[in-house]
């Protein structure tokens, strides 16, 4: 009964390095989302997907790219990490766009 799984859970990057965060869900959900959460800012939507092969920009997409090649996976990429991308990243999935969302455990990323 995994639900939504994110890897890795922690990561430290140097400025300019790249990395990919993986989100996997086993609930056959169409919709998947990537959020970042910073103190005092709440959850902000980075990118989302309404189905396999689709992606769309959210509220704060700059500096990130995403891919949804398989329905169960949603990847978030940072091509050239910056200290401003230090944050906690949450992946979520839902059956429909406005139905309840299930969250992964989060990835704590620090860019130095």
Partner 1 sequence: RKEVEQDPGPFNVPEGATVAFNCTYSNSASQSFFWYRQDCRKEPKLLMSVYSSGNEDGRFTAQLNRASQYISLLIRDSKLSDSATYLCVGPGAGSYQLTFGKGTKLSVIP
The size of the interface with partner 1 (CB under 8 A), counted in residues, is 24
User: Which of 80, 105 has the CB closer to partner 1?
Assistant: 105
Is residue 24 a contact partner of residue 105, using CB atoms and an 8 Å limit?
A: no
* Cα 25 to the center of its chain, rounded Å: 12
Give residues with Cβ within 8 angstroms of 41, minimum separation 6. none
What is the full DSSP assignment across 47-95? EEESSTT--EE-SS-TT-EEE-SSTTEEEEEESS--GGG-EEEEEEEES
Our CB check for partner 1 shows the closer of 69 and 98 to be 98
Residue 31 binding partner 1, by CB under 8 A: yes
Which residues inside 52-111 make contact with partner 1, applying CB under 8 A?
A: 56, 58, 90, 94, 97-106
Closest approach of Cβ 82 to partner 1, in Å?
23
Q: How far apart are CA 88 and CA 68, in angstroms?
A: 21
Least distance between partner 1 and beta carbon 80 (Å):
26
Nearer CB in complex with partner 1: 79/108: 108
**What does the binding site for partner 1 look like in residue numbers (CB under 8 A)?**
31, 33, 35, 40-43, 45, 48, 50, 56, 58, 90, 94, 97-106
């Amino acid at each position: 009964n995994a639900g939504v799984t994110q890897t890795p859970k922690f990561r430290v990057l140097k400025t300019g390095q790249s990395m990919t965060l993986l989100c996997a869900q086993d609930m056959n959900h169409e919709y998947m989302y990537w959020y970042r959460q910073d103190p005092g800012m709440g959850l902000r939507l980075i990118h989302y997907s309404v189905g396999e092969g689709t992606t769309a920009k959210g509220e704060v997409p700059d500096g990130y790219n995403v891919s949804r090649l398989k329905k169960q996976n949603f990847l978030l990429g940072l091509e050239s990490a910056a200290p401003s991308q230090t944050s906690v990243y949450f992946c979520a999935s839902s059956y429909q766009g406005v139905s309840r969302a299930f969250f992964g455990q989060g990835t704590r990323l620090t860019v130095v």
